[in-house]
Amino acid sequence: MTTNAATDPMIGRMIDQRYRVRSRIARGGMATVYLATDVRLERRVAIKIMHGHLADDQAFRERFIQEARSAARLSHPNLVGVYDQGAEDDTAYIVMEYIPGITLRDLLQEHHALTPEQATDILRAVLAGLASAHRAGIVHRDLKPENVLLADDGRIKLGDFGLARATTANTATGAALLGTIAYLSPELVTRGAADSRSDIYALGIMLYEMLTGEQPYKGDQPMQIAYQHANDTVPAPSAAVPGVPPELDDLVAWATARDPEDRPRDARELLDHMSGNQQRATGQYRTAVLRPENATAILPAGGASPDSAPDTDDPTTVLDRTPADTRSPVRRGAPGPRRTGSQPGVLSPAGQRLADLSARRRKRGWIALAIVLVLVLAAGVVGWAFGPGPWGNVRIPEVTGKSVSQARQLLEAQGLQTARATATRFDAVVAKGQVSTTKPAADREVRKGTAVQIVVSDGPRLITLPAIVGQPVSTVTAALDDDFQLQDDQYEFSADAPKDTVIAATGVGTDGATVDLAQVQQYGERGPVTLTVSLGPVPDVAGKSVADATAALDAVGLTVGTQSAQFSDDVASGQVISQSVQDDPAKQGSAVDLVVSKGPAPIALPDVAGKTVRDATSTLEALGLEVKVPECTNILCRISDWKSVLPVTSTDPPAKSTVHRGDTITLAYDD
């Protein structure tokens, strides 16, 4: 639904000096939801504003505030987040996470029924969020497809906790049943009481509707449907749609049992049943630290390790490590015999010790030199191998925008391998068929010989366009801003479109040609969009003075062009007879030509002396003049047609005088 400031005064309003309302998203029984901008944090939010006629109802105000408090207590990826709550000028509001996308109701209206896989995927996501609420002690009480949001990026979120209550409250609602009648549990219908099992019943009805495309109970009156909830058993979905798995029939039957005691106690139990993983429910695991060659493993409680680790109460089991090998100490060889005495070549004890020390030093020097040479050689080999050699690192070159063959040549020139199969992805910048990126990405440093996959652009992702032409420019801008590149708006005067509504939208096609976006349903992501906005009709200045006409045109950005004068019997002198715009279509700065009245055209009074009164009268009246003839007093005039006989002697004013249409001419004659 779209609206503008003329029909909704909230559009454009700044709430609490922080939230700028941009457009309306939806309207419910208690409140209206708008798209707004948090100017402090510069992010888009959804803001729910309670209807003004409910502001004086204390019960409604408390229920509205309760929604904010209930939802703010919850934090889960499958629940819509609540950021803020407040009141301004007796208007209560809630600020929530903005989820662009559709509701489950929209999906069902489009596809009628979903596949079992789609239905279970949505149900699991809703159950995960609802389990978080039930764990916090919150019952939703208004589960229906309208409150399940399917985001454009694939996220599934549950929102609208407007009827939420603590699970321990379990109180009746009074005479009026809250929630949507199609999803009310039997205990809500009969006793007005609800707990977490009431939410499970609503989910069972939703699952039936997703699988079959329709609700199990129908009736002309709400009470007929309520009676069926309280007294009938929900049929199996496979009875309406053959092929539904028996497991889903059983799930619907379990969730929609008339007796709450026969249903799952909460969303967690139903979710665990669907996943079939009882270990996840217990949360018991053990960690075993294995030998180095076996790394680290996570063992389930009660399970045996690969090496049959002993079962102990300690959740951490350290397995034995292989003992290190023992080595015998190295024995040095005994020194050789020494020469002593004074015989030639025989050293003294002191000399012998000096000779032995020198020999040992020379031996260590040669060993050290050999070690250094080996290390230098090894370092050179390693440096070559990991540098210019086969094991060196290279930086992946930038190949974005090139053809696949060019990209392969550049990559292989760096010593890299290119995967035979290419991948594709949407790319709003790179033309279709050209390289969008690589895996790993450009500028990454990798080992030579690394396989690099080329990712080819599939062009921009096509996005379905909303209604554009005839919509308020603020609404269109908000709808297009996230997905496309909005160019500067163009403005034109239009006699057919109100001021500030869009009269045209253009983009650029893949071939560079201009595309009329009003004639297509989809357009490429991040594509440029130029909106043409109406300035309203060109002011009508006919009948105004030149000064007033100039001021009226100047007020809307138009100028006065040429001025021409023209006689007019209908428009007073000095006033505008007509106007014409030099440009088509007219834009701000365009010139408007004016035709200004000179008053009635002058007439040279003809000489009718000598004509009969009747002929003179006809001649003057044909010129648009009024004719006055004095009454004949001669007695003969009473017995004859004197106007056809008596000649005109003169006129007043006299002949050849300047007169104008409508002036009165008096005829004189002799009687």
- Angle among Cα 334, 336, 338 to the nearest 5 degrees reads 130
Which residue in 142, 195, 427, 483 is the catalytic one?
142
β-strand pairing of 101-103 with 148-151: antiparallel
Using the structure block, give the residue that is written with the tokens 């909830």.
229
Q: Which residues of 5-40 are buried (b: 16+ CB within 10 A; e: fewer)?
A: eeebebbebebeebbbbbbbbeeeebbbbbbbbbee
| Helices 246-255 and 267-275, packing angle to 10 deg | 170
For residue 92, what are the contacts with CB-CB under 8 A and spacing of at least 6? 49, 50, 55, 61, 64, 65, 85, 86
Ordered DSSP codes for 466-489: ---TTSBHHHHHHHHTTTSEE-PP
142 noted as active-site residue: yes
DSSP structure class, residue 159: -
Q: How far apart are CA 129 and CA 159, in angstroms?
A: 9
Task: Look up residue 266 and give its amino acid.
Answer: D
DSSP structure class, residue 208: H
Q: How far apart are CA 555 and CA 544, in angstroms?
A: 15
Q: Which residues of 345-375 are buried (b: 16+ CB within 10 A; e: fewer)?
A: eeeeeeeeeeeeeeeeeeeeeeeeeeeeeee
CA distances from 348 to 301, 335, 336, 341, 343 (A): 79, 16, 15, 6, 10
| Helices 116-135 and 196-212, packing angle to 10 deg | 170
In the chain, what's the furthest Cα-to-Cα distance? Answer: 201
With H, G, I as helix, E, B as strand and everything else as coil, classify residue 498.
Answer: coil
Question: Quick one: tokens of 235?
Answer: 């049929």
Whether the bond into 440 is cis, omega within 30 of 0:
yes
- Angle among Cα 463, 467, 469 to the nearest 5 degrees reads 120
- In this structure, the number of other CB atoms found within 10 A of the CB of residue 112 comes to 10
Instruction: Report which secondary-structure segment, H or E, holds 553.
Output: helix 546-555
DSSP structure class, residue 178: P
With H, G, I as helix, E, B as strand and everything else as coil, classify residue 122.
Answer: helix
- In this structure, the number of other CB atoms found within 10 A of the CB of residue 495 comes to 11
Yes or no: say if 623 and 657 are a contact pair by the CB < 8 Å rule.
no
Q: How far apart are CA 77 and CA 70, in angstroms?
A: 16
- Angle among Cα 481, 484, 485 to the nearest 5 degrees reads 90
Do you know the residue count of the chain? Answer: 671
Question: Quick one: tokens of 468?
Answer: 């554009």
Q: How far apart are CA 651 and CA 178, in angstroms?
A: 94
Task: Look up residue 63 and give its amino acid.
Answer: R
CA distances from 104 to 144, 209, 571, 666 (A): 9, 11, 64, 89
Cα within 13 Å of Cα(19), Cβ side: 27
| Residues forming the active site | 142
